[in-house]
Amino acid sequence: MSLCEAEKTFILHGVAENFRVDGRDREGYRPIELETDIVQHAFGSARLRLASTDILASVKIEIDTPLPEKPFEGKIEFFVDCSANATPDFEGRGGEQLAIELANILTSAYSAPQTLDLRELCILKGEKCWKLYVDILVLECGGNLYDAISLAVKAALFNTQVPKINNMTIDGENVDIDVSENLLDCRRLNVKHAPILVTVCKIGEHCIVDPSLEEEQCMMSSVVVAVSNNHFSTITSMGSLHEETLFECLNLGHKVAVRLNQTLIETLEKMPQNQDVGFLK
C-alpha cells in the first residue's frame, strides 16, 4: 500500500493544524486494550491491541549460569517473531529483519541496570541465575509497533511470577536447586522502571506520536526513545534531523512516555484476575 501525493498532503496539513485524520491531536494516542495471563505455558504473558496492532508477549524462565563478568546478575533475552498472519510479506523469513530490529531496540532499552534490576534474578553468585526469555509475537500490524511491543513486554513482565527457591545444596561443582512446587508461592518482578518506547514521527514541520499505518508513510524521520523513570535509556533516530527538532522530539517522547507509563501501571494494578477473554470474544 502506498499513498498518493494528495493523501499525503492531506495528512501533512492535518498534522500542521494539530488535527489529524482521525481527530487526534499531535500527542493523541489511540485506545489500547490489554489483557494479561493469556499463555498458560508461560510464567507471565500479555496481549495488547492498539487499534489493529496486535501483540502477544510471553515470559519464560529457565535456570542458567551468569556471565563471568556479571556474577550477581540474571539474564534477559528478547525474541520477536513477525507472524505471517499479520501480512503475507512476513512469510518465511520476510519478517526477520524487522523482528531483529525490534528485538535489538528492546535489548538496548533494557540494558541499563536501572531499568530492570537483574540482580533480583541471581540465585547463587557466579553459579546459577534465572534467565528470562521474553518472546513477542506480532499478530497484526496497524502501525506503531515499537510502542505497542514495549507496552506488551512491560505488562508481561509485570505479570511474571518468578518461582521461589526453597533451598540449595552445594556439592562441590554441582548445585542442586529445590524450586518450590507451589504455584502460588512466587514473587513478582519489580517493573516500575521498565522502559517504555515511544516513536516520535516528524511529519512536515511537526512531531506526532502513535502514527497510524498511513501516517508512517508520510514521515520524513522518526526517533524512538525508551524512557525509564524520567531518564532515557535508548534513543534511536531514523532519517536526518536537525538538532533542535531532535530535542523537540525527545521532549515530546518523554512527555508522552511518562503519561503512558502512568496509565499502564494504573491499568495493570487493577487488572482483574482469571478472566477468560483471549481471542474468543
Partner 1 sequence: MSAKQQLINKIGLRLDGRRANELRRIRCKMGVFSQPDGSAYIEQGLTKVLAAVYGPHQTRNKQKAQHDACIINTQFSMAVFSTTDRKKRPRGDRKSIELSVLLQQALSAVIETDLYPFSQIDVYVEVLHADGGIYAACVNAATLAIIDAGIPIKEYICACTASLANDDVPMLDISHQEEILGGPTLTITALPMSEKIVLMEMSQRFHLDHLPKVLDKALEGCKDIKEILDEAVKDHVSKIGSATGWANASS
Partner 2 sequence: MSQTIHIRTASQENRIRPLPSSQKNHRIFTPGEEVIKAAHTNFVRGHGTYEDDGDLKASVAGVKEQVNKLISVRPLKSRYNGQVGEVLVGRISEVQQKKWKVETNSRLDSLLQLSSVNLPGGELRRRSIEDQHMMRQYLQEGDLISAEVQSVFTDGTLSLHTRSLRYGKLGQGILVKVLPLLIKKCKIHFHNLPFGVSLILGNNGYVFIGPPINDKEGNEGGFVQNLEEVVPKETREAMARVRNCILALAKNFRMLFDTSIVFAYEESLKYNVHELLLPEAMVDVAVLTQQRLSMLENYESH
List contacts with partner 1 (CB under 8 A): 39-42, 45, 52, 54, 56, 58, 60, 62, 79, 81, 83-88, 91-93, 133, 135, 137, 139-142, 278-281
Give burial (CB, 10 Å; 0-12/13-18/19+) of 182. Answer: exposed
Q: Is the dihedral of CA 68, 76, 184, 154 positive or negative?
A: positive
Which is nearer to partner 1, 15 or 134 (by Cβ)? 134
Nearest alpha carbon to residue 263 among 43, 56, 29: 29
> 75 forms bridges with which residues in the sheet?
131
Binding at 92: pick from partner 1, partner 2, none (beta carbon under 5-8 Å per type): partner 1
Which residues in this chain contact partner 2 in the complex, by CB under 8 A? 1-7, 9-10, 13-14, 17, 19-25, 27-35, 47, 49, 51, 151, 256, 259-260, 263-264, 266-267, 270-272, 275, 277, 281
Which of 20/47 has CB closer to partner 1?
47
CB atoms within 10 A of CB 248: 17
The least distance separating partner 1 from the CB of residue 62, rounded to whole angstroms, comes to: 7
Cα angle 39-41-169, degrees, rounded to a multiple of 5: 140
Q: Which does 77 bind (CB under 5 to 8 A by kind): partner 1, partner 2, none?
A: none
Nearer to partner 1, 59 or 203 (CB): 59
* Minimal distance, residue 112 CB to partner 1, in Å: 25
The rounded radius of gyration (Å) of the Cα atoms in the chain is 20
Measured in whole angstroms, the distance separating CA 277 from the mean position of its chain's CA atoms is 22
Least distance in angstroms from the C-beta of 160 to partner 2: 18
